[in-house]
Every structure is written in C-alpha cells, then in structure tokens.
Amino acid sequence: MAYLDHIHTCNNFDQRDYLPFMIEKERFGWIGPTFASRLAAWPDIFNLSPEHITLAKNFKDFDSRSEALLPPIAELLKKNYVEAWRDEFYAVTSDWHTPAVMQIERAACPYFGIRAYGVHLNGFVRKHDGIHMWIAKRDSNKQTYPGLLDNMVAGGQPIGLGLKENLMKECNEEAGLPLGLAAKSVPTSFISYTHIMPIMPTGGVKPDQIFCFDIELPHDFQPHPVDGEVEAFYLWPIEQIAETVRESDDFKFNCNLVIIDFLIRHGIITPDNEKSFAAIAQGLRNKI
C-alpha cells in the first residue's frame, strides 16, 4: 500500500459507464444505467436518451426543479432504491461559486452523480516531540463506513450555510468544541475527487469537493462524542497517522486525502522522501 493508492481509490470513476445528467444543456451529474432505468418511470420529469438524461424543460427555475424531484426520490426511497434519507438538502451547482439551479435531498446526490461539498477539520497539538493529531472513530452502528477512522470533525455542506458557519456547527455537534475555540479554525486548502460508491448497487458517483481547515488546539482540550456520529477520539503522533494512512484502509476513503494534504503542507511528505510526490499533489485536486 502507498499514499498514491488512496488517490487512485478516490478517483476510480470511469465516465464511459455513465450518462450525463443535464439541466438546461449543462451537465450537473452522472447517472449509472441501473438507476437510469428506474427514472424511466417518470417520463414527465426525466427525458432519457442513449446520450444523456435531462430534466424536462418545463421545469425552468430553482423551485420547480427542486419540487419536481421530491416525489420520485421519495418513491425510490420506499422501494429501497435510495438509502438513508437525511432530511438535509444540498445545492445543485456546476461549481462552488455558481448559483444553484435547484436543491436535492442529500441521500440522492450520489445516485444522480451531483457534486457535493464538505468541510473537514484537522485538529492538532504541538508537543515537544512534534505534531500530534486528533482523529475520530466513527460509530460502529453508523449506516455509512461504520467503525472507520475519520478526521476530528467532518460534515457535508447543506444549502444556506456558509462554510465556516457549517464547520463551527459540526465542531460543536460532533466533538464538543466551544464556539469560541472552533472559530480559531482556518481554511487551508481543498481537495476534489470523483469516486464510485462501492456500497451502492447502482454505482453512485461522488464528484465531490472538500474544504480543508486546520486548528491548533491547546494541550488541555480533549474532544468528546456529542451527537452519536463518533464513538471515540484519539490523539496520535503524526508519524503514527502517516503510517496508518500509508499502510492501511483504516480511515474513511476521503479522509486519507485530507490527511495527505496536511502531511504535505507540514513538510512530512516531501519530494525528497516520496517518489510519487508530484502524482499525489496533483491527484488531490483531480477533475474529470
């Protein structure tokens, strides 16, 4: 195993196996053939062709598009074709700074291959022997990626919240960081990838972007589970974390990339000690 393997894992999408999901002649997602066949049950909402799937032209604004998708997604949920309804909505955009053309239930994003955004926080402490990083262990009963290691704080980006605002909310809900402390987190970088979700029989796609934040924490602070998303927190030397990422799949797939980015920024992975440095650095910000 190697750092570069995690880059490849997160970017295992092959667009030749998928149809573009179009709105007003612009692509906003990728839909696999199995899920596409299920959308054929709503010909008044989705137009299917061998080249693409389009939202019907009579849905011309944010509200009408958002409302049009609710009934089919709810029906697909009843038939277990869509999993884990979150009652949380994501913006459907072509890029972070472009206006949303509609909103969609978070659980449906991978089925339509719609880009989702997230915030991940590296919480670290400087000790006499170097950097130590707080990591989380996901709850063993969590529906997605149970029991895997995670960044100290991480969450999806719902519509209507700013990135820092969302991060501070997640800090308090997941790790018990007081708002005054969470406010000291700083944006550092972003990563992007296009990943096939192996847990979905329909081959859901995640063309996602994660905004990375760092926070240097005081020695006397210890995060603690609050909302049940996390089972435990551990403070590990950065060398142990680097080895775990390099040698295993113990972390949730995209958290590996967030940590690799941190390791590069803090001079732990360098062009001199990592022969795949250029490929790794480029792969952290991959595009189709």
Return the structure tokens found at 215. 């926070």
Classify domain 3-11+117-283 at the CATH superfamily level: Nucleoside Triphosphate Pyrophosphohydrolase (3.90.79.10)
Domain range list for the chain: 3-11+117-283, 15-112
CATH architecture of 15-112: 2-Layer Sandwich (3.30)
- pLDDT band at 197, cuts 50/70/90? confident
Kindly state the percentage of the chain with pLDDT values over 70: 98
Q: Say whether 15-112 and 3-11+117-283 share the same fold.
A: no
pLDDT at 86: 74
Kindly report the pTM of this predicted structure: 0.94
Pair 115, 209: CB distance under 8 Å: yes
* Nearest-10 Cα torsion for 162, 168, 172, 174: 70
Kind plus residue range of the DSSP H or E element containing 75: helix 62-78
pLDDT at 125: 98
- pLDDT band at 200, cuts 50/70/90? low
Query: Mean pLDDT for the chain?
Result: 94
DSSP 8-state symbol, 76:
H
